[in-house]
Amino acid sequence: MSSEHVGYIVQINQLDKHPNADRLQIATIFGASVIVDLSVKIDDIGIYFPIDLQLSEEYCNQNNLTRKLDSEGNNIGGYLDPNKRNIRAMRFRGSKSEGLYMPLESLKYTGKTKYEVGETIDKIDSHEICCKYIPKGKNIYPTRKLGNKTRKKKAPIAPLFLEHADTEQLAYNLDVFRPEDIIEITLKMHGTSGRTGYLPILKGFTHKIPLYTTIANKQPPKNKILRKIYDYILNQCTPVYDWGYVTGTRRVVLNNFDGGYYGDNSFREEHAKSFEGKLHKGETVYYEIVGFMNDGTPIMPSVENNKISDKEFSKQYGKTTIFSYGCSPTGEILKHGRDDEGRFAIAKKVPISDCYVYRMTMTTQEGNVIEYSPSYVRYRCEQIGVKYVPLLWKGIIPKNTWVDTHSAGEWIKNLAEQYYDGPDPIGKTHIREGVVIRLIERPKFCAYKHKNFNFKILEGIAKDLAAEPDIEEAQELESDE
């Protein structure tokens, strides 16, 4: 389980008065602000639940955290949705709260009484406490039909074609940084993942039973009896691999560019083919595709900016955020000007979608993965003729970081927050998602994401109570005042 999908046993080291609520405080946990009541004191030990995490039904019931209505319709419980039970960030009375802090007594029903600061918890004996929050699927492209995603064979299609590496939250991994570490900060882009490799891929089967040559290379039958015969035949066969190009999404190997989550993956094809004939044997490239599908539909759904209470935000970015990154659904944008003859507009060609590489590896035939350094990835991107994610900062963590900010990790977090907000530097028409902080000269891919608060609000990870008042949630917080 990823370390960001657990609760953390923490000690309260910093408490500040809420500027607009007399009976609330703001605790600083993992560098994040968390609103707590006046019963919380310095040195208290409790459990911290990060955002984008779901509490178990049992834990919520034991601590009265979900909404419950009496016979008259009044809420006599907490403020969490009883069906979702997910932790979201909230901005309340001008102050944001990123996560939920609960006292250790909230775990008393499990029977465990001793905990160590730094311990992570998702389950205690048979009691589930929390897990990753996975929203119920919403088909944002309801008119599209799901098509064939992956070739189905008993033998793996491309055994050396590794999935995208997860990037965990920076805030919960500050202890991995050390003075004199070499760091790069790049733009985190809001698109869909892609990967392409030049690797050994399945070409067919050799077999011990010549009679079944054609059968062994067909798709598995659905009939159970025929499937058993088919599986028996494959057990007599040996897969044959040869070098070739293979493309996939974050988790899925694509057989073709039909169907899939978007109903039409043809927009991926152009970018996948841009690597063909240009990768060395064993290379895999990982990238983000942004902009629009071939029919002009945004790859990432548009969001309404009125979710954010600050009116200056809508003035700057308009009524709707479209994550375009300089792309256009028509393949062109109009450049306006004025001369002696009056106003004019010139059509400028731009991509419908674009591809930005952020990682490359070399995999040996024995399965050993060699991580390319970011500088070498940029060199290979220049050779291939593709783009690299925008580099915002590169440098070394100074030795004296602890003098000013107590730790190298906190120094990096403060630095990252100088770059993680503001207009996207490519198209400048929408907000940035955030940044990715990468540790250089490590044998494995070490990268950590840090998203800004306004983006979290737009994506529903956080909530601005001033912009979208939820009366029940607001009343629950105000009841502490």
Residue 324 pLDDT level (bands cut at 50, 70, 90): very high
Residue 473 pLDDT level (bands cut at 50, 70, 90): very low
Assess if residue 233 is contained within a domain.
no
Q: Which of 58-67, 341-350, 354-363, 442-451 has the highest mean pLDDT?
A: 354-363
**Same domain flag for 108 and 183:** no
Q: Flag whether pLDDT at 190 surpasses 50.
A: yes
What is the β-pairing status of strands 387-388 and 123-124? unpaired
**Same domain flag for 101 and 195:** no
Secondary structure of 193-261 as H, E, C letters: EEEEEEEEEEEEEEECCHHHHHHHCCCCCCCHHHHHHHHHHHHCEEEEEEEEEEEECCCCECCCCECCC
Assess if residue 236 is contained within a domain.
no
Residue 147 pLDDT level (bands cut at 50, 70, 90): very low
pLDDT, tens only, 208-249: 545 444 554 556 667 777 766 666 666 666 777 889 999 999
Residue 295 pLDDT level (bands cut at 50, 70, 90): very high
Torsion angle (degrees, nearest 10) of CA 102, 107, 113, 119: -60
| pTM (whole model) above 0.85 | no
Read off the pLDDT of each residue in 310-334 and give the average, rounded to a whole number. Answer: 90
The residue ranking higher by pLDDT, 163 or 286, is 286
* Domain final position from 89, 122, 137: 137
Assess if residue 237 is contained within a domain.
no
Chain centroid to CA 33: how far?
21
- Sign for the CA dihedral angle at 55, 59, 64, 66 comes to positive
Span of 168-172, 203-207, 214-218, 288-292 with lowest mean pLDDT: 214-218
CATH number, domain of 293, equals 3.30.470.30
Q: Flag whether pLDDT at 203 surpasses 60.
A: yes
Assess if residue 263 is contained within a domain.
yes
Average pLDDT, the chain: 83
Q: Which residues of 235-258 are buried (b: 16+ CB within 10 A; e: fewer)?
A: eebebebeeebbbbbeeebbbebe
pLDDT at 8: 92
**Same domain flag for 125 and 55:** yes
**Same domain flag for 397 and 264:** yes
Assess if residue 68 is contained within a domain.
yes
Assess if residue 120 is contained within a domain.
yes
**Same domain flag for 364 and 422:** yes
Span of 7-16, 153-162, 241-250 with lowest mean pLDDT: 153-162
Report the alpha-carbon angle 223-228-231, nearest 5: 115
If DSSP codes are grouped into helix, strand and coil, which group holds residue 313?
helix
Whole-number percent of the chain with pLDDT over 70:
82
**Same domain flag for 288 and 175:** yes
CA 193/CA 375 separation, integer angstroms: 21
The DSSP output letter for 41 is: -
CA 79/CA 77 separation, integer angstroms: 7
Q: Which of 149, 168, 155, 154 is nearest to 251 (CA)?
A: 149
Counting Cα atoms < 13 Å in the Cβ hemisphere of 220 gives 13
Q: How many C-beta neighbours within 10 Å does residue 195 have?
A: 24
Assess if residue 92 is contained within a domain.
yes
Q: Flag whether pLDDT at 428 surpasses 70.
A: yes
Q: Which domain holds residue 289?
A: 168-200+243-299+352-445
**Same domain flag for 67 and 188:** no
pLDDT, tens only, 85-125: 988 888 777 788 888 999 999 999 999 989 999 899 999 99
If DSSP codes are grouped into helix, strand and coil, which group holds residue 476?
helix
Assess if residue 88 is contained within a domain.
yes
Please say whether the beta carbons of 355 and 247 come within 8 A: no
The residue ranking higher by pLDDT, 404 or 189, is 189
Number of separate domains in the chain: 2
Counting Cα atoms < 13 Å in the Cβ hemisphere of 430 gives 23
**Same domain flag for 123 and 181:** no
**Same domain flag for 256 and 403:** yes
Length of the chain: 481
Q: DSSP for 421-459, please give it.
A: SSB-TTT-SSB--EEEEEESS-SS--EEEEE-HHHHHHT
Read off the pLDDT of each residue in 447-473 and give the average, rounded to a whole number. Answer: 68
**Same domain flag for 255 and 177:** yes
**Same domain flag for 172 and 48:** no
Between the two ends of the chain, the Cα-to-Cα distance in Å is 38
pLDDT, tens only, 397-421: 998 766 665 689 989 999 999 999 9
**Same domain flag for 247 and 287:** yes
What is the β-pairing status of strands 182-188 and 369-371? unpaired
Span of 7-16, 112-121, 251-260, 368-377 with lowest mean pLDDT: 251-260
CA 384/CA 12 separation, integer angstroms: 51
CA 476/CA 481 separation, integer angstroms: 10
